[in-house]
């Protein structure tokens, strides 16, 4: 699987909003593309197949400890230390905003402002308000992905948005985070919709099973864009060796199989990957 990164760069094609692209090599050696300073700080813009896409850096987090990837009984420690000799793995915390023909949609919401979340700040910098968002697609129920659904007063952050939640993940959240599930259900009411994988959703969004990180973790395809949530927490090492897990992955064996399957699917279909914890602009192509 070490060839994944080079194949992905050759096979996937993204048309950026600016002609000038600065290639950056992170300290571990994986290559990511970063757009120039056309957009406000903490945001990046690209256009692809008619979609205008913004990466919103929704928290100040740029590194994780390499020990997060050592695995059970430190089985992967030697491999990880070789790829991250300084003991750090680049990361980020991203949400994604897409302008479609019908309006603005988002993939995940980040943390609430009280926990350091910056989504509302990023939207404001783009001259948008939460009321401009018409749909939110949730990859999974961890707090850094759903926390931004509720504002500081306990109301819906996105008053005009329909929220789409994978049914298997919502069942999981009801068991493990019942208070959060109840609050989201109460606040969004009939604007909260659960769905099954493979069911075509509004805006032409296709949900794809991406289990392992959580039981209902979901990737979303929109045209040639593939929003993968927490498929990878440390892309710089997991693209080189997809068998390495972060400690956050609940089912390690399934997470590895899913990572290989989704990466292969992206390459085979010439898709652009957008990930919640991929560094810089959150894009791999």
- C-beta separation of 284 from 33 below 8 A: no
- C-beta separation of 245 from 255 below 8 A: yes
64: left (phi over 0), alpha (psi -120 to 50) or beta: beta
The residues, ordered by sequence, that sit 6+ positions from 238 with a Cβ below 8 Å of its Cβ are 232, 244, 259
Structure pTM? 0.88
From the list 130, 69, 67, the residue with the least C-alpha distance to 104 is: 130
> What is the pLDDT tens value at each position of the chain, 285 positions in all?
434 444 333 332 332 222 233 333 333 333 344 444 568 889 998 888 888 999 999 988 889 999 999 999 999 999 999 999 999 999 999 999 999 988 999 999 999 999 999 999 999 999 999 999 999 999 999 999 999 999 999 999 999 999 999 999 999 998 888 888 899 999 999 999 999 999 999 999 999 999 999 999 999 999 999 999 999 999 999 999 999 999 999 999 999 999 999 999 999 999 999 999 998 889 887
CA–chain centroid gap for 194, Å, is 19
Distance CA 191, CA 70 (A): 41
- b/e map 188-226, b = 16+ CB within 10 Å: beebbebbebeeebebebebbbbbbbbbbbbbbbbbbbb
Compute and round to an integer the Cα radius of gyration of the chain: 18
* CB neighbourhood size of 102 (10 A): 11
pLDDT at 38: 67
pLDDT at 41: 86
Strands 162-166 and 192-195: what pairing? parallel
C-alpha atoms less than 13 angstroms from C-alpha of 240 in its C-beta half-sphere: 13
Burial of 155 (0-12, 13-18, 19+ CB in 10 A): exposed
Distance CA 41, CA 37 (A): 8
Distance CA 277, CA 59 (A): 11
């Amino acid at each position: 699987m070490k060839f994944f990164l080079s194949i992905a760069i050759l096979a996937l094609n993204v048309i950026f909003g600016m002609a000038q692209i600065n290639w950056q090599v992170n300290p571990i050696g994986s290559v990511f593309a970063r757009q120039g300073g056309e957009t406000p700080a903490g945001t990046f813009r690209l256009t692809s197949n008619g979609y205008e896409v913004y990466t919103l850096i929704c928290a100040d987090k740029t590194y994780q400890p390499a020990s997060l990837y050592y695995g059970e009984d430190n089985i992967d420690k030697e491999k990880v230390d070789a790829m991250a000799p300084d003991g750090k793995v680049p990361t980020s915390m991203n949400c994604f905003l897409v302008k479609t023909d019908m309006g603005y949609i988002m993939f995940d919401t980040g943390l609430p402002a009280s926990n350091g979340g910056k989504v509302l700040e990023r939207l404001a910098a783009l001259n948008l308000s939460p009321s401009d968002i018409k749909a939110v697609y949730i990859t999974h129920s961890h707090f850094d992905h759903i926390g931004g659904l509720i504002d500081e007063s306990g109301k819906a952050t996105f008053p005009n948005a329909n929220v789409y939640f994978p049914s298997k993940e919502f069942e999981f959240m009801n068991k493990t985070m019942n208070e959060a599930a109840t609050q989201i259900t109460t606040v969004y009411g009939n604007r909260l919709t659960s769905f099954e994988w493979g069911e075509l959703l509004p805006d032409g969004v296709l949900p794809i099973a991406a289990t392992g990180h959580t039981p209902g973790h979901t990737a979303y395809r929109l045209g040639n864009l593939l929003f993968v949530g927490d498929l990878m927490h440390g892309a710089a090492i997991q693209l080189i060796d997809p068998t390495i897990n972060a400690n956050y992955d609940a089912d390690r064996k399934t997470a590895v199989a899913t990572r290989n399957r989704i990466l292969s699917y992206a390459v085979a279909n010439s898709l652009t990957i957008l990930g919640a914890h991929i560094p810089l602009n959150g894009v791999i192509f």
